Structure 1
């Protein structure tokens, strides 16, 4: 079992003992998503820490999008619940890059790929995403690449 998955299970046990309903429900949800990912495909497999982090990122993104949808529909209570679940998931993800660090990574990727305009955006995105590795949302990376290439 991956270290991150073991930590999630241990934290779930702790949250259940503490009767922390939000944390318990969120950790159960993410462990269910991890289990579903493990049995998807042709044969069952054990996920690595990186793959578990990818599931965590995907679930955190779902929470963020749901919070925005609920807020847009005037359902503040549900939006707040989704944000709170996203905060629980954020505890297990690497810290997000700030704008200055992201700009530096994108500038380096542009230099390394020899990009000269928007036609090279795909090459730059590939190089930048390899370095960023989950520490920034893809839309933030794309916006920064567009800004620097445009």
Structure 2
């Protein structure tokens, strides 16, 4: 078993014993998503910590999007629940980059792309590839794309 998956399982046990309904239900859903990912495909396999991290990131994104949808639909109570679940999942994700750190990483990626001969808006794909490799889960794809567009336009 991976260490992150083991940590999720141990935290679930603690949450159940503490009768923390929010944390236990969130961790149950996350562990189920990890197990579903393990059996996806032709044969069962153990996920690495990086793969488990990606599953948790995907689950956290679902919570953010659901919270926004509930808020727009006038269901504040459901939106708050989704936000709270997202905060529980955020504890298992790496610290997110600040806007300044992200801008610096994107600037380096733009510099590398220009050195390779790519310039202007057409370099977006190449810069995104370089920036995503350096960011590695510390910033959401939408934030990275916005920063890259801004850097290429300016």
Tell me the TM-score normalized by structure 1. 0.99
Tell me the TM-score normalized by structure 2. 0.97
Who is 2:42 aligned against?
Answer: 42
Question: What SS does the corresponding residue of 2:96 show, helix, strand or coil?
Answer: coil
- Asked if the contact 2:113/2:119 (under 8 Å) is kept, the reply is no
Who is 1:144 aligned against?
Answer: 147
- Asked if the contact 2:106/2:148 (under 8 Å) is kept, the reply is yes
What 5-or-longer segments of structure 1 have no aligned partner?
none
Alignment of 1:106-121 (within 5 A): 106-114=106-114, 115-121=118-124
What 5-or-longer segments of structure 2 have no aligned partner?
none
Who is 2:25 aligned against?
Answer: 25
Q: 4+ residue stretches of structure 1 with deviation over 6 A?
A: none
Question: What SS does the corresponding residue of 2:41 show, helix, strand or coil?
Answer: coil
Who is 2:136 aligned against?
Answer: 133
The size of the alignment, in residue pairs, is: 150
